[in-house]
Amino acid sequence: MLRSKLPDIKTSIFAVMTQMANENNAINLSQGFPDFQVSKKLIDLVEKYMKKGFNQYAPMQGVFELREQISKKTFELYNHKYNPDTEITITAGATQAIYTTINAFINEGDEVILFEPAYDSYLPAIRINGGQPVYVQLKAPEYKIDWNEIKRVISIRTKMIIINTPHNPSGAIFTEEDIMMLRKIVSGSKILILSDEVYEHIIFDGNKHQSLAKYPDLIKRSIIISSFGKTLHTTGWKIGYCMAPEKIMNEFRKVHQFTVFSVNTPIQYAISEYIEKEDEYMNLSSFYQEKRDYFISLVSNSKFKLIPSKGTYFQILDYSEISDEKDVEFAKRLVLEFGIASVPVSAFYHNHQDNKALRFCFAKSNKTLDKAAEKLLKIS
């Protein structure tokens, strides 16, 4: 008899909303991907490496040139030098790095602390590996961390804490104070930290990204994960990476080699050459801040309430003054009646908590945002 390892997992609401958007010809601000072009230079580089014959297996840990560039960039930004030979691995997007980390370190009964709302890949990965999720709620509408609650839920079985800054879906960011609290709480323990920093280059209003790579006491227990999909507008290329001290990375690689072995060769070469010459990611925050501000200005006369996103390319809109409907029902109605798709925030909670909030992706051309706002202004 077929026994499911994830019996209560159904088709994700992300897929449902996108399908509904397509079927109804709606503006799709649900899934998180840009609708504008990738740099031509980068595309040309991929073609160059393909034509030069870089089309066979990459090394298991990733192309050295790319690991070297990542090491340099991390040092320049966060002042810690990861050894490209032993401490950096290229993965099939951040998603694989997340899964492989959890797969490598979480055993039956290990507790993993998870902040909710949470990106949807963490929980299934914990459960399929026999881990025990321990949920801590971020308090809407600011989605701040209550560190006293973390202190309360830590136990001798706590194996890992998963953090994500800038945070999907809320757009909240870790402050220096959050980092101080995290350092205090894990000090003296063997707790590992999975730090999902895929939006590290998308942070607004002059705030600085609090990478764990800035803190030696956190580095020694952390697996830091990032993704070129977010940074280079190439979510479909699925190239991510992770960084961790050698002892942790050795264990990560043992699992990685039997999960994918290695990832796309010519794209790795192309990205390494591209980021060596272009520090385009350094302008990403101002690029997306303009988009956030534009989107906010467009919807400011609508009935939705909002707190401006501090990072990522997502903006949460609160509809509590418009309707009492559950967020999934409301989101579906917006597609059918108004032609605009979003993601209900309850999708990011294990118990589908309803905050009367929807997540909109503003990584779109201004033309798309104009059309979206036109629809949002009609909702009352």
Ligand X SMILES: Cc1ncc(COP(=O)(O)O)c(C=O)c1O
- Kindly list the residues in this chain that would bind ligand X in the complex (CB under 6 A): 32, 93-95, 119, 164, 168, 196, 198, 227, 229, 235, 238, 240
| For ligand X, the closer CB: 102 or 379 | 102
State in angstroms the smallest separation of the CB of 77 from ligand X: 19
Residues 6+ apart with CB under 8 A from 115: 136, 137, 138, 145, 162, 163, 164, 167
Distance CA 145, CA 184 (A): 14
Distance CA 192, CA 341 (A): 37
352 in the Ramachandran plot: left (φ > 0), alpha (ψ -120 to 50) or beta?
Answer: left
Q: Among candidates 64, 135, 125, which has minimal Cα distance to 97?
A: 125
**What long-range pairs does 209-213 form, CB within 8 A, spacing at least 24?**
209/77, 209/165, 209/166, 209/173, 209/311, 210/165, 210/173, 210/174, 210/175, 210/176, 210/178, 210/179, 211/74, 211/77, 211/78, 212/163, 212/179, 213/74, 213/77, 213/78, 213/79, 213/80, 213/82, 213/243
State in angstroms the smallest separation of the CB of 157 from ligand X: 25
Distance CA 271, CA 220 (A): 28
Is the sign of the CA dihedral 71, 72, 74, 78 positive or negative?
positive
CB 195 within 8 A of CB 163: yes
Distance CA 64, CA 166 (A): 28
| For ligand X, the closer CB: 298 or 341 | 341
| For ligand X, the closer CB: 16 or 298 | 16
| For ligand X, the closer CB: 12 or 207 | 12
State in angstroms the smallest separation of the CB of 273 from ligand X: 20
Residues 6+ apart with CB under 8 A from 358: 316, 317, 319, 327, 330, 331, 334, 342, 343, 344, 345
| For ligand X, the closer CB: 115 or 119 | 119
State in angstroms the smallest separation of the CB of 75 from ligand X: 22
Residues 6+ apart with CB under 8 A from 24: 335, 336, 339
Which residue shows structure tokens 């194996």?
A: 159
State in angstroms the smallest separation of the CB of 269 from ligand X: 18
| For ligand X, the closer CB: 96 or 265 | 96
| For ligand X, the closer CB: 17 or 298 | 17
State in angstroms the smallest separation of the CB of 324 from ligand X: 29
State in angstroms the smallest separation of the CB of 34 from ligand X: 12
CA-based diameter of the chain, in Å? 59
Q: Which residue is nearest to ligand X (CB)?
A: 93
CB 65 within 8 A of CB 269: yes
State in angstroms the smallest separation of the CB of 167 from ligand X: 7
379: amino acid identity, one letter: I
State in angstroms the smallest separation of the CB of 238 from ligand X: 6
| For ligand X, the closer CB: 349 or 374 | 349
State in angstroms the smallest separation of the CB of 97 from ligand X: 8
| For ligand X, the closer CB: 240 or 266 | 240
| For ligand X, the closer CB: 20 or 125 | 125
